[in-house]
Amino acid sequence: MSSVLSAQEISRALIRISHEIIEGNSGASEITLLGIPTRGAHLAHRLAQIISGITGSQVAVGTLDTTLHRDDLRSKPPRALMPTIIPSQGIQGRHVVLVDDVLYSGRTIRAALDALGGIGRPKTVQLAVLVDRGHRELPIRADYVGKNLPTSKSQIVSVHLSEVDGSDEVLIEEGPA
């Protein structure tokens, strides 16, 4: 197992992404950050804090669970549902920035887009991820990326966040033979 992002590198990446989000949307007043549970939700809250530190005002932030819209439900036991909490500003006509830890096949994001469709009609939907490890199976791309990480499909990428795992780190290892 080797480390590909240290705690410091993660922190710098999140700061850079926050600036990029503000720049890409000409300000943060029409942005709603929605993190995909579990770790995407924590990242979204971190980004919200950083952005509001930069702009001086509160940023709308919430969570969006994608379980009910997954396309692989029938091949696995049903998962417990995570909370979907849309902030009071809503998503209608706003710039929704989805936040997740790892972008891989793209199916989670496809499910997130479906879930958003059931809630309302954003002006735009953008995507911020900490790690993009390639191997897309659908035409999905991220607008803001912490680190591009070329991987092989046999490798496992693990994102650790202090809120959940006690420390900040991104690790990569070979999977089972």
Residue placing its CB nearer to other proteins in the complex, 54 or 85: 85
Per-residue burial over 14-37, b = 16 or more CB atoms within 10 Å of its CB, e = otherwise = bbebbeebbeebeebebbbbbbbb
User: In this chain, which of 7, 15, 54, 82 binds other proteins, going by CB under 8 A?
Assistant: 82
| Contact call for residue 65 and other proteins (CB under 8 A) | yes
Q: Which residues pair with 128 in a beta bridge?
A: 99, 144
Min dist CB 62 to other proteins, Å, is 12
Number of residues that bind other proteins (CB under 8 A): 20
- Alpha-carbon span 10 to 171, nearest angstrom: 12
Query: Which tokens in the block code for residue 87?
Result: 């902030």
| Contact call for residue 84 and other proteins (CB under 8 A) | yes
Where in 109-128 is the site for other proteins (CB under 8 A)?
114, 117-120
Q: Crossing angle for the helix pair 39-55 and 7-24, nearest 10 degrees? A: 60
- Alpha-carbon span 165 to 173, nearest angstrom: 17
Residue placing its CB nearer to other proteins in the complex, 47 or 116: 116
| Contact call for residue 93 and other proteins (CB under 8 A) | no
Binding site for other proteins (CB under 8 A): 65, 68-69, 73-84, 114, 117-120
